[in-house]
Amino acid sequence: MIRKITLLLLFFIFSIVQVQAQNPIYKTIDSLKTALKQTKVDSEKAVLLTKLSSYSEYIGPDEAINYAKKALYYAQKTNNEKQIGDTYGNLGTAYEIKSDYAHSLKNLYKALAIYESLNDIKSLTTVYNNIGLIYIDLKNYKQGLVFYNKALDLSYKFKKERNISLLLNNIGDVYLQQKEYSKALNNFYKALIINKKLDDTEGIGLNLSNIGICYINLKNYEKGIEILKKSIATYNDDTNFYNNYNTLDLGRAYYLMSLDDRYKKDQKILIDKSISLLKKTLQIFERYKSLKDIQETYFYLSKAYKLNDNYELALYSFEKYSRIKDSIFSKESEKKLSNLEFQREIDLRDKQIEIQTLRINTDSRKVYFLITIVAAVAALLCLFLFLYNSKRKNNLLLKEKNILISNINSQKDKFYSIIAHDLRGPFNGFLGLTELMAEDIDTMSNEEIKFAAVNMRSSAKNLFTLLENLLEWSRMEQDLIPFVPKEYALKSILLDSIITLQDIADKKGISITTAISYSKTIFVDKNMFQAIIRNIVMNAIKFTPKKGSIYIQEIEDVDNIIITVRDTGIGMNPKMIEDLFKLDANNNRAGTEDEPSTGLGLILCKEFIEKHKGRIWVESEEGKGSLFYIKFPNKNSKFI
């Protein structure tokens, strides 16, 4: 389990006041509100409102945003640059708590510009860290590490050991999420040394937890469990909320340990320990309504119950996990779509700035030409040629940038067109069925109710698949998807990709045959490769009639591995083939059993394959099936 480091909320507080217990914090907030009502001085109002807005986690982000906006008004009125920077920082923090990353980054970058102009080292360290946190939440690990390291450099420079330990822990968490365990352990151990020196109990407990997680992920279960128990002992309080994460990690460790052949003889004991710990931690997470943690706990409980042959509880736990996952997915989808629109606005603005810069450069050269024209007739000809060539290049660049802006707008329009068109169908079907059941359920037979429920489930699944593809496409467009190619056994990774599709194929009586050698390897990003294979095989199942067949094989040449997927489906005409990978073409043809299709899956496949420097193409004829070719360069290929 990769754990979010909540201790770093200490970095979010821009206020001057430091308090130790919850009651004094609320007393401080009340005293600030009283002082605000009594003062008439604008500069004092700015200070009091800024302090109030810094308590986002206690007064709620919406109230904090309200105070920060009022503080910004008075700070700008009194022209206090430091105060303006602090209010932007507090706005960024409050929006981050709401997971509104677009507005959070916008305000934090404004604060950053002010602190850099003031050379305010303490505030710069804070805002670098906060920007890094947001990029990590957005899975942009590279950019997140850039800002973490900027904050770390300043902390080392000014010997702020508390900041250093927190930032080392943050950086270690990034490497833990990327499964670079040696780098993660290096940073966690450095942070542990500092926290022991500072006698920081919570810091030590957190470092030990993360070190234990690393060893568990490295399958050194005994050492991982030992260190997690040390973390629990460090807090010296079973009711401590962080210890609940340790309990969850112990439960997960015992479950994973039971799967290892080295501990096969103790499997029953290990599973019982795992279930006991997971049930204990579930009670606390449910008390705090921590949805993501509840979801993860139910996931491992379902696995443990299944291994313990308690299939009824395994099914119950898995259903609870699935429902929570769907609920979280729905909320996160809305946030991701909002962040996508913000990112497109930033891209458009950046391109406009580039064009303006080119125009300024062109104008400056014209001025220079007018000044130097008085020099000499001989130099005039040389200068004229130079300016002519330079202007022509700039005009070409301007033309390219204008085309690029046009493409960005076109992509945005296509994106909204896909959402408007393809979401309407599943939603209309779903709403129609719910309206039917709401009005006529008392008169409907069991068969009619079952028919409506099955169709509602189908509409929901189609909607889920579409949203998943749209979000995956948008992340690909923004380069937010990690790309980590490694060498894998081709047959194994391919079979893993299509195993979930076997039930769908069986329902249509379609056979799937693979002719892949066990010795063949392929150099790819595992997640992208599996998404490619699933989409193409699913496409083949969708457009192949009942009792048909699908045949998968590999062809190898000097520099590449080519995978072919042949089906006995309905095939395509030349126009369909030409438009197959175009976003603006109408590719949503229904399957042989009226299965819905958006065409977005194949577009994702093409982009994933091109990310590998590969290529996809198809041969097909109506009524005679289709043959898809997927080409990937070999690991040592000169094309990589």
Cβ–Cβ under 8 Å, residues 112 and 131 = yes
Give the residue from 198, 197, 207 showing the smallest Cα distance to 171. Answer: 207
Alpha carbon distances (Å) from 187 to 141, 195, 233, 345, 611: 16, 12, 22, 36, 31
486-633: which CATH topology?
Heat Shock Protein 90 (3.30.565)
List CB contacts of 16: < 8 A, sequence separation 6 or more: 51
Q: Where do we find the tokens 């330990």?
A: 165
564-to-178, 277, 468, 631 alpha-carbon distances in Å: 32, 47, 26, 9
Instruction: Say if CB 230 and CB 192 are below 8 A apart.
Output: no
Domain ranges within the chain, ordered by starting residue: 1-158, 332-477, 486-633
Residue 86 carries which DSSP code? H
CA–CA gap between residue 184 and residue 174 (Å, rounded) = 8
Q: What CA–CA distance (Å, rounded) separates 245 from 280?
A: 11
User: Which of the two residues, 591 and 118, has the higher pLDDT score?
Assistant: 118
Rounded CA gap, 172 and 214, in Å? 10
pLDDT confidence bin for 22, thresholds 50/70/90:
very low
Q: Are 132 and 155 in contact (CB under 8 A)?
A: no
- 366 has a pLDDT exceeding 80: no
- Say which amino acid occupies 487: E
CATH of 1-158, one of 3.40.50.300, 2.40.30.170, 3.50.50.60, 1.25.40.10: 1.25.40.10
pLDDT in tens, 370-425: 777 767 777 888 887 888 887 888 888 888 777 767 765 665 555 555 555 555 55
Which pLDDT does position 152 carry in this prediction? 93
- Residue 10: pLDDT band (50, 70, 90) is very low
Whether the predicted pLDDT of 129 surpasses 60: yes
Cβ–Cβ < 8 Å for 187, 176? no
Highest mean pLDDT: which range of 58-67, 167-176, 322-331, 446-455: 167-176
Query: pTM score, two decimals?
Result: 0.49
